[in-house]
């Protein structure tokens, strides 16, 4: 069965990017010529996804507006003979893609949403017993040659009848404490392997591997049963990783597919990451990249 549904959590507060993110969703920050969320959408569409649910909140209406048809603007551009390639690019309906929106509620008495696990749990009726992709709305996967990371994940997930397939990237030992780190089964190839555990932020001197969970997942619908039984963290959050650990404990096949050379995960959670990501994408712009490179050279001389 071809996987055509994706869930994109975008309901976080984006506190590390304040004050910009007070009124602008972090997922709407421009990276090169597109807001982050549109890079994510294009990645999903390239991998065959056609139904995309955004789990958002009342502060994120700009995402909904951005992906709206806005047919009068399209007509205006067409009549003005703007470059048609540019115009058709935003005709998602014409490309057979549907967007859906739901909201992650903040429970009474809480000040923030209850984590990515809680956001994914809000997608149960949309998913309706099918396998589906989860893509964090603040992370872009820069791609290299050949099939994309998500295409490889989908092929692996289906080929192994997995319950969950996680994207992983190799991170330096001294940074493992910032990530969920997977433990591959012995003797499995590192690029696409079964995993036997997932540790949340291990100490660098105690880490079983350097493969960090990386913002893209494929799940079977059984993850919702696990999400319902996860014990919330001391701060009340429901972690997606805890549901994955429960799948492993229940003997389900959980796998990891590694980012290849030439692929890069951009997790745009703080200003340093945002500046660097913007520069990478602006420098890669076919038309304006060389101009920016010359400008930066001049500034740094
Ligand atoms: P992050 O934890 O990186 O984003 O979540 P955040 O919570 O917005 O960031 P800070 O820590 O306050 O700066 C990764 C993705 O998951 C979404 C976020 O919007 C982001 O796209 N998310 C996070 C939810 O949808 N719900 C949540 O409860 C938490």
Find the distance separating the first CA and the last CA of the chain, reported in whole Å. Answer: 55
pLDDT digit string, tens, across residues 12-39: 999 999 999 999 999 999 999 999 999 9
User: What is the SS3 assignment for 168?
Assistant: strand
Confidence of residue 301 (pLDDT cuts 50, 70, 90): very high
Q: Which atom of ligand 1 is nearest to the CA of 10?
A: 19
Whether ligand 1 lies within 6 angstroms of the CB of 10 is answered as yes
Confidence of residue 81 (pLDDT cuts 50, 70, 90): low
pLDDT, residue 143, reads 85
Contact predicate 37/82, CB 8 Å: no
Confidence of residue 144 (pLDDT cuts 50, 70, 90): confident
Confidence of residue 189 (pLDDT cuts 50, 70, 90): confident
Confidence of residue 149 (pLDDT cuts 50, 70, 90): very high
Q: Which atom of ligand 1 is nearest to the CA of 16?
A: 13
In this predicted structure, the answer to whether residue 175 has a pLDDT above a threshold of 70 is yes
Whether ligand 1 lies within 6 angstroms of the CB of 11 is answered as yes
User: Among 178-182, 232-236, 268-272, where is mean pLDDT lowest?
Assistant: 232-236
Beta-bridge mates of residue 193: 256
Confidence of residue 121 (pLDDT cuts 50, 70, 90): very high
pLDDT, residue 78, reads 75
**CA atoms of 89 and 279, how far apart (whole Å):** 23
User: In this structure, which residue's CA is closest to atom 16 in ligand 1?
Assistant: 9
- Higher confidence at residue 102 or residue 73? 102
pLDDT, residue 73, reads 78
User: In this structure, which residue's CA is closest to atom 10 in ligand 1?
Assistant: 14
Pairing of strands 51-56, 5-9: parallel
From residue 283, alpha-carbon distances to 32, 99, 274, 289 in Å are: 8, 30, 14, 4
User: What is the SS3 assignment for 65?
Assistant: helix
pLDDT, residue 70, reads 76
* Burial class of 283 by CB neighbour count within 10 A (0 to 12, 13 to 18, 19+): middle
pLDDT, residue 84, reads 61
pLDDT digit string, tens, across residues 52-63: 999 999 999 999
Whether ligand 1 lies within 6 angstroms of the CB of 16 is answered as yes
User: In this structure, which residue's CA is closest to atom 4 in ligand 1?
Assistant: 12
**CA atoms of 162 and 77, how far apart (whole Å):** 45
pTM score of the predicted model: 0.95
Contact predicate 187/246, CB 8 Å: no
For the chain, the average pLDDT equals: 94
Sign of the CA dihedral with 11 first, then 14, 18, and 24 last: negative
For the CA atoms of 61, 67, 69, 72, the dihedral, rounded to the nearest 10 degrees, stands at 70
Distance of CA 212 to the CA centre of its chain: 14
**C-alpha 59 to ligand 1 mean position (Å):** 13
**C-alpha 117 to ligand 1 mean position (Å):** 11
In this predicted structure, the answer to whether residue 88 has a pLDDT above a threshold of 70 is no
Q: Which atom of ligand 1 is nearest to the CA of 267?
A: 3
In this predicted structure, the answer to whether residue 297 has a pLDDT above a threshold of 70 is yes
In this predicted structure, the answer to whether residue 219 has a pLDDT above a threshold of 80 is yes
Whether ligand 1 lies within 6 angstroms of the CB of 113 is answered as yes
pLDDT, residue 91, reads 82
From residue 44, alpha-carbon distances to 74, 80, 193, 198 in Å are: 23, 30, 23, 25
Q: Which atom of ligand 1 is nearest to the CA of 118?
A: 28
The residue count for the chain: 301
Domains of the chain plus CATH, in order, are 5-166+213-269 (3.90.550.10)
Beta-bridge mates of residue 180: 200
Q: Which atom of ligand 1 is nearest to the CA of 237?
A: 28
In this predicted structure, the answer to whether residue 87 has a pLDDT above a threshold of 70 is no
CA angle 267/270/274 to nearest 5° reads 65
pLDDT, residue 42, reads 96
Q: What is the mean pLDDT of residues 80-102?
A: 79
């Amino acid at each position: 069965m071809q996987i055509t549904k994706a869930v994109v959590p975008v309901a976080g507060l984006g506190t590390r990017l304040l004050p910009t993110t007070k009124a602008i969703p972090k997922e709407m920050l421009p990276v090169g010529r597109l807001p982050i969320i549109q890079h994510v959408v294009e990645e999903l569409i390239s991998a065959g996804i056609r139904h995309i649910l955004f789990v958002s909140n009342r502060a994120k209406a700009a995402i909904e507006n951005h992906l709206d048809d806005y047919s009068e603007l399209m007509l205006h551009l067409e009549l003005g003979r703007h470059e048609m390639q540019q115009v058709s690019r935003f005709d998602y309906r014409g490309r057979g893609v549907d967007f859906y929106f739901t909201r992650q509620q903040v429970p009474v008495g809480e000040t923030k949403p209850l984590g990515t696990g809680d956001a994914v749990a809000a997608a149960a009726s949309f998913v309706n017993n099918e396998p589906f992709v989860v893509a964090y709305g603040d992370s872009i996967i820069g791609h290299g040659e050949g099939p994309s990371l998500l295409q490889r994940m989908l092929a692996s997930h289906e080929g192994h009848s997995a319950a969950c397939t996680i994207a992983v990237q190799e991170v330096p030992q001294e940074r493992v404490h910032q990530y969920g780190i997977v433990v591959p089964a012995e003797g499995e190839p590192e690029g696409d392997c079964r995993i036997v555990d997932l540790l949340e932020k291990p100490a660098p001197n105690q880490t079983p591997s350097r493969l960090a969970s990386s913002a893209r997942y494929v799940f079977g619908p059984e993850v919702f049963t696990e999400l319902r039984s996860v014990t919330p963290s001391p701060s009340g959050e429901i972690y997606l990783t805890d549901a994955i650990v429960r799948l492993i404990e229940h003997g389900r096949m959980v796998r990891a597919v590694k980012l290849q050379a030439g692929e890069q995960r951009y997790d745009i959670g703080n200003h340093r990451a945002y500046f660097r990501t913007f520069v990478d994408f602006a420098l890669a712009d076919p038309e304006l990249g060389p101009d920016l490179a010359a400008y930066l050279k001049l500034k740094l001389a």
